[in-house]
Structure 1
């Protein structure tokens, strides 16, 4: 068991660095060289410009400008009728954090959104940035909605061409108090087509660029989640909050799977050791300014879930067990834990009132 606590401490210590090194996937349509499907790049020096069209070389450079730890370029034939399916098949079991598509039509963008929503439903933490999809309503789908862009050098482009730039940016965000994509300035841009109402666009789950006194900036960094329930709160529409949640979920699940699963008897004493290790991990995330130091940030046995598990198999006396009795009656091979934590978001909104006497 001490090994688990050491692993959690190592994960917490490296949390900020790991969060800033996401792996991005960029899907491009290109027939220049059909001898490969996937190309992995770690810097601009890895890029052979003869393998792609000039437009896609520019797209790849834009994605690398965000400094992801790796950029995986997936090449799909330009005449493909199933662009996203072909790209996902080529990726296979390749690990990645963010994915985007440049050059496809609205149907392809919708297909990518649908794929990621399916992965979200399966409990995965992959995220996508898509262009102008109709109401994806997903914590893991970012919906970019700027229609037209004018570059500082005079070039004009439709908004989907900016997907690679944002893909690189979002995959390189650090999950600390000081890091957020909100209000990010893009000096390479001269102007963009504004939304009719910025606040309404944010409320609709759209990410967009806007003109701000001669500077083009990124709007509030939200994903497309707009339906809020008991399990899906408004906080989860923040890209930064979601990134932090995904990191914590992945760390705990991977550590349990690698160092705890099927290695210890399922009894409360062993569960307490696991809970203690998780709480130590949370404490280290407080130190890293990922969790709020004014909040308890504690994990424990999920009393209600464990009680209901016993009731579901006819153990009627479980209905009157005390919390302590529930904890000490572990359920078969299942471990029921929950946690109450507060993840810090970046400071973005500002209100300052001055009273004159």
Structure 2
């Protein structure tokens, strides 16, 4: 345990369980980057009507696509980040990322002419942010190598194969549409088979090619002859960590984990750090707040009913006490819980994240039409 005094330590550990957000039952927020010589900076947009009119037509269209959503919902806000033109280096994008470090976003769409170097920069930025318990997820079109990360959606489509009538898109030009659609999915649903009704064509793939692409950690589009839609809602994770679960490759599951991360981080930072004496009673108040929010998530289809919990982490608390020279051998469990722990609060919590209905087996038994 570090003994130096610095910023209050907020360590959130989840093992195969959950993390979420007190005020995030709303639809998500999308950060969308465009390059333009006009209207540079950050614009908080709650509808496409607020897109700066001085932007170029292609940039306005790219931002507008982020608002489209699906029949399952639309994002509640698009944060437009207008950066300087030019792709010779990553300076403009780095400056834009600096501008949104104080934002709370769910999905990020790069500029439609994103370069390989910028993709690398965005991957690194998202991974570092997620280590600090922020919840951005990157929609990356056709990554050069598999990102293999829960925070990166590998959107895999052949450039020019995506079509809405006579209009065709590269995968990168359609990234804002995908980011907005993902952000608009309610917490109890997944994006699997969410319809993209304007599309008339997507990358042609056989059923076996679709399965291969998905198993390799790619979000793809499919067309069933009636409507275009997203395939299986997966992120790019294919190497499951030793302390992880296979379902961490599901966008819905990671969204649930991110909701809990956001809730714990913002609630503890905003409502608890520095505000209360570190007593056992106040620790119990925090545990009650966490349990109540978990109960809400159970009713919203994020966590499985009756399996959520939050309690004082006795093992961590006892280790800390021993490190301070406290003899704990003769203490009862309740005495350990109530023992004064300086500025430290040791909590563990969990629950079972719920997936959406996606795989079905239906067997029809036909009765004979002949009379007995």
| TM-score where L is the length of structure 2 | 0.81
Q: Which residue of 2 aligns with 1:23?
A: 29
Q: Which residue of 1 aligns with 2:11?
A: none
SS of the equivalent of 1:192 reads: coil
**Alpha-carbon spacing, 1:194–1:114, altered in 2? closer, same or farther (3 Å):** farther
For structure 2, which runs of at least 5 residues remain unmatched after alignment? Answer: 1-20, 368-372
Distance across 1 between alignment mates of 2:365 and 2:336:
56
The counterpart of 1:193, out of the listed 178, 185, 203, is 203
Give me the CA root mean square deviation: 2.5
Distance across 1 between alignment mates of 2:261 and 2:66:
26
Kindly state the Cα deviation for residue 311 of structure 1 after the two structures are TM-superposed.
3.6
Q: Which residue of 2 aligns with 1:306?
A: 317
Is residue 339 of structure 2 the alignment partner of residue 329 of structure 1? yes
The counterpart of 2:150, out of the listed 129, 139, 144, is 139
**Alpha-carbon spacing, 1:300–1:68, altered in 2? closer, same or farther (3 Å):** same
Q: Which residue of 2 aligns with 1:62?
A: 65
Distance across 2 between alignment mates of 1:240 and 1:225:
13
For structure 1, which runs of at least 5 residues remain unmatched after alignment? Answer: 1-10
**Alpha-carbon spacing, 1:57–1:310, altered in 2? closer, same or farther (3 Å):** same
The counterpart of 1:44, out of the listed 31, 44, 48, is 48
Distance across 1 between alignment mates of 2:96 and 2:44:
14
Kindly state the Cα deviation for residue 299 of structure 1 after the two structures are TM-superposed.
0.4
Q: Please give the per-residue CA displacement for 1:237-287, whole angstroms capped at 9, x wherever unaligned.
A: 222222222222222332222332223332323322321232122223223
Kindly state the Cα deviation for residue 85 of structure 1 after the two structures are TM-superposed.
0.7
Kindly state the Cα deviation for residue 48 of structure 1 after the two structures are TM-superposed.
4.1
Q: Contact 1:24–1:72 at 8 Å: present in 2 too? A: yes
What aligned pairs does 1:192-341 form with structure 2 within 5 A after superposition?
192-194=202-204, 197-293=209-305, 295-315=306-326, 317-318=327-328, 323-341=333-351
**Alpha-carbon spacing, 1:158–1:335, altered in 2? closer, same or farther (3 Å):** same
Q: Please give the per-residue CA displacement for 1:144-173, whole angstroms capped at 9, x wherever unaligned.
A: 111232423123332111101011111222
Distance across 2 between alignment mates of 1:28 and 1:217:
25
**Alpha-carbon spacing, 1:298–1:230, altered in 2? closer, same or farther (3 Å):** farther
Q: Please give the per-residue CA displacement for 1:193-236, whole angstroms capped at 9, x wherever unaligned.
A: 24562233223221111232343221111222222224432222
Q: Contact 2:153–2:219 at 8 Å: present in 1 too? A: yes
Q: Please give the per-residue CA displacement for 1:3-37, whole angstroms capped at 9, x wherever unaligned.
A: xxxxxxxx76x653x2x1x2211111233x2x533
SS of the equivalent of 2:153 reads: strand
Is residue 140 of structure 2 the alignment partner of residue 130 of structure 1? yes
